[in-house]
Amino acid sequence: MNRPVILIVGTVDTKSDEIGFLREQVQAAGGDARVMDVGVLGSGRVRPDIANTEVAQAAGVSLQQVRDSGDENSAMTLMAQGASALAVQLQASGRMQGLLVLGGTMGTDLALDVASSLPLGVPKVVLSTVAFSPLLPPERLPPDLMMVLWAGGLYGLNSLCQSALAQAAGAVVGACQVARVPRFDRPVVGMTSLGSSCLKYMVALQPELDRRGFDLAVFHTTGMGGRAFESLAAQGQFACVMDFSLQEMVNQMGGSVVSAGPHRLMGAGLNAVPMIVAPGATDLVDYPAWGAMPERFADKPSHAHNRLIASVGIDAQMRGEFAQELAQRLRMARGPVHLVLPLHGIQEWDREGAPLHDPEGLAAMMQAMAECDFGQAQVSRIASHINDAGFVQQVLAVFDDWLARGLVLKARP
């Protein structure tokens, strides 16, 4: 790509100087800038390429209707709808390759909608006064979003502000210049895992899948990884999914911030993508290791994986609740589903002598699974730990059967 087109989104009425400087920096870095005005108060000194009237029209209203909508929150929500719709059109038609949005809380609110509307892999940079803030709910953050703190930039084009603006411009242009769009030359199996110390099956499965002509993409189920996995599954980018780490579902149920949102395990199923599923690491809830353990689990054994993330075991009641939720979501699947239940353990820290060993809890979960209605899903109960060879062998047996029957395709439809 010679000169990538960067869509700069901001309120021209209040941030003309900053947007003008951003446009200059994008040009200097080797890109071409296209400015979209999402302001509603008036016009600024910078002439946008996409006027605020066009943004409002894309949301199905006039600019005056936006101004009359009630308050600045409702007005910016409408502008976010229009900006997202236009960004999707521009990207799909090849008229923009990267996104750069700047703002305070209001602009960041809009920026998250616009960034989320674009496909995974399109460079997205948000320059924000609340970058990395706990105000930003994880479910609204695109998995590949880059954020730069707009330090000292709330008002006035001072040297601190210019430094942040220039860094953001260089980040998005550079990302576009070296970006590689996934080619999917070979069919891809999407797999989930909670790291490589808690769950290890991918080490044995990767060479076997490669030998069968498939690439393997493994997603770390610590919130954003699960969201990326679900997004690609819903887009039909996987020939099959091996969703073996459903721990984000338990986190969601337990109120943990380490969550992929309420729609985990639905992207593949609702889009008829073949699914091999296992309840890996669903006997624990994650929480920030630097914070307090959730009070609900205070009497349960825990394990600090590192200084960022720790895990605590859950009780039999919650294991039963998870089993019912798993069954409900698998019954919704529109394609082939096979659930593999490893009866000897579902994560490395639950082995005998390990910090989260709980044989009674595991037995309670498997009993709860036995009482569930999984609909059309096939269920295998195997005398193996999820990290042992028996689990891998069962997964490959199911996969090979599906290959032979044409349920998993080696060519994209």
Q: Which of 286, 274, 281 lies closest to 245, judged by CA?
A: 281
Reduce the DSSP state of residue 150 to 3 states and report it: coil
Q: Check residue 133 and give its pLDDT.
A: 87
Q: Residue 241 — pLDDT band, cuts 50, 70, 90?
A: very high
Q: What are phi and psi of 104, to 5 degrees?
A: -85, -145
Q: Check residue 132 and give its pLDDT.
A: 85
Each residue of 87-132: pLDDT tens digit? Answer: 999 999 999 999 999 999 999 999 999 999 998 889 999 999 999 8
Q: Which of 353, 221, 360, 367 lies closest to 285, judged by CA?
A: 221
Domains 5-178 and 188-405 in one fold: yes
- The fold of 188-405 is Rossmann fold (3.40.50)
CATH for the 5-178 domain, from 3.40.50.720, 3.40.50.12020, 3.20.20.105, 1.10.1740.10 = 3.40.50.12020
pTM of the model: 0.83
Each residue of 27-86: pLDDT tens digit? Answer: 999 999 999 999 998 788 899 999 999 999 999 999 999 999 878 899 999 999 999 999
What are the extents of the domains in the chain?
Answer: 5-178, 188-405
Look up residue 267 and give its DSSP letter. Answer: T
Scanning the structure block, which residue is given the tokens 């599906």? 402
Each residue of 300-347: pLDDT tens digit? Answer: 888 888 899 999 999 999 999 999 999 999 999 999 999 999 999 999
Percent of the chain with pLDDT over 90: 74
Among 155-159, 180-184, 250-254, 364-368, name the one with the lowest average pLDDT. 180-184
Mean pLDDT throughout 192-202? 92
Q: Which DSSP string corresponds to 32-64?
A: EEEEEE---S---SSPPSB-HHHHHHHTTS-HH
